Amino acid sequence: MRLLITRPRADAQPLAEELRERGHQVVMEPLLEIRFLAVTNVDMARMLDGAQALLVTSANGLRAFCQACDRRDLAVHAVGHASAAAARDAGFTDVDSADGDVAALAGRVAEKLHPGDGALVHVAGSRVAGDLSGLLEKAGFAVRRAVLYEAVKAAELSAPVRADIAEGKIDGVLLFSPRTAESFVRLVERAGLTGRCRDITAYCLSEAVAAKSRRIGWARLAVAARPDRQSLIETLEER
């Protein structure tokens, strides 16, 4: 199949390589640009003072933390495999993965950690999906949110991708977040190409992503059994 990847470029590259190895053609069209925010050493030291662990809900949050701070001694509790792998690659040695969504991460953290051992620092973007802090605060934890990056939406689809959609050259689009799905739908509508999506399958990481995709018609809307990259790949190969 010829697949359109909408992830930010740093996440899209390894996914594209895996899909090519599986025999697919790949077009990369990042719909979010990740911009790391400037954070002072004083601010980071204050944020991490007395903290027992980092909470990581995206690889981008982990990358932003690594740019802002050289500490790798903290325990990391990641939402899924990709963010856990990014932490290990960055030099963290105490890494645990919930292999699920924000609710799964909150549940796993509540099982493994104790509120009295220190605050939890959620390294995140300017916008977050789900209420990780709220879930953990109900369990008695103090959660500090470190806003380390912002994800800026693309203003329009590139000319080559508009042409590919118009000419029926895209078989499937991979959508990994509600915000990306919402952005793709908006840009397709702006380009006057919603009718062409009836020939395209939308492969969605979760039901939350699918909910943002349903405003337009698709040939098929497929949802991964689990909210992780490998499950989404398995879903597209079940066609």
What is the band of 227 on the pLDDT scale with cuts at 50, 70, 90? Answer: confident
Residue-level pLDDT at 239: 61
Q: How far is CA 211 from CA 3, 76, 123, in A?
A: 21, 30, 26
What's the pLDDT tens digit per position in 105-149? 999 999 999 999 999 999 998 877 778 999 999 999 999 999 999
Q: What is the arithmetic mean of pLDDT over 187-215?
A: 95
What's the pLDDT tens digit per position in 14-39? 899 999 999 999 999 999 989 999 88
| Average pLDDT value for the chain | 92
Fold assignment, 34-151:
Rossmann fold (3.40.50)
Residue-level pLDDT at 66: 93
Q: What is the arithmetic mean of pLDDT over 213-222?
A: 95
Residue-level pLDDT at 212: 94
Its pTM stands at: 0.79
Domains 2-31+156-236 and 34-151 in one fold: yes
- What is the edge-to-edge ordering of all strands in the sheet holding 220-223? 25-28, 2-5, 172-175, 201-204, 220-223
CA triple 8-56-95, angle to 5 deg: 120
Per-residue tokens: 233: 């790949």
Q: How many beta carbons lie within 10 A of that of residue 202, not counting itself? A: 24
Q: What is the C-alpha separation between 228 and 25, in angstroms, rounded?
A: 21
Residue-level pLDDT at 82: 83
Question: Coil, strand or helix: which one is 73?
Answer: coil
* Burial class for 160, CB neighbours closer than 10 Å (0-12, 13-18, 19+): exposed
Using an 8 Å Cβ cutoff, are 67 and 96 in contact? no
Residue-level pLDDT at 112: 94
Q: Which residues of 228-239 are buried (b: 16+ CB within 10 A; e: fewer)?
A: bbebbbebbeee
CA triple 74-10-217, angle to 5 deg: 120
Task: Indicate the domain borders of the chain.
Answer: 2-31+156-236, 34-151
To the nearest whole percent, how much of the chain has pLDDT over 70? 99
Least confident of 5-9, 73-77, 225-229, 232-236: 225-229
Residue with tokens 């990259």: 229
pLDDT of residue 211 exceeding 90, the answer is yes
Fold assignment, 2-31+156-236:
Rossmann fold (3.40.50)
